[in-house]
Structure 1
Amino acid sequence: MLGDVRNLGAAALDVACVLVFVAIGRASHEEAASLAGFAGTAWPFLVGLAVGWLVTRAWRRPEAFVPAGAGIWVSTVVVGMVLRAVSGQGTAVAFIVVATLFTALVLLGWRGVVRVVRRPARV
Structure 2
Amino acid sequence: MWLVVDLLLVGVFAVVGRLSHYGTLTVGGWWTTAWPFLAGTLAAWAVLMAAGREPAAVSSGVVVWLGALVGGMALRQVDSQGTATPFVVVATLVLGALLVLPRVGARLSARA
Q: Which has the higher contact order (CA 8 A, sep 6+)?
A: 2
Given that 2:48 and 2:55 are in contact with CA atoms closer than 8 Å, whether structure 1 keeps it comes out as: no
Structure 1 unmatched ranges of 5 or more: 1-8
Q: Which has the higher helix share?
A: 2
User: Is 2:55 the counterpart of 1:62?
Assistant: yes
Runs (4+) off by over 6 Å? none
Specify the alignment match of 1:23 in structure 2: 15
- Kindly state the Cα deviation for residue 56 of structure 1 after the two structures are TM-superposed: 2.1
Specify the alignment match of 1:14 in structure 2: 6
* More divergent stretch after superposition (55-64 vs 81-90): 55-64
Q: CA RMSD in A?
A: 1.5
What is the TM-score with the length of structure 1 in the denominator?
A: 0.85
- Sequence identity of aligned pairs in percent? 41
Q: Which of 46, 50, 71 is 2:42 aligned to?
A: 50
- Kindly state the Cα deviation for residue 31 of structure 1 after the two structures are TM-superposed: 5.1
* More divergent stretch after superposition (53-62 vs 76-85): 53-62
Matched letter for residue 84 of structure 1: R
What is the TM-score with the length of structure 2 in the denominator?
A: 0.93
Size of the alignment, in residue pairs?
111
Matched letter for residue 116 of structure 1: L
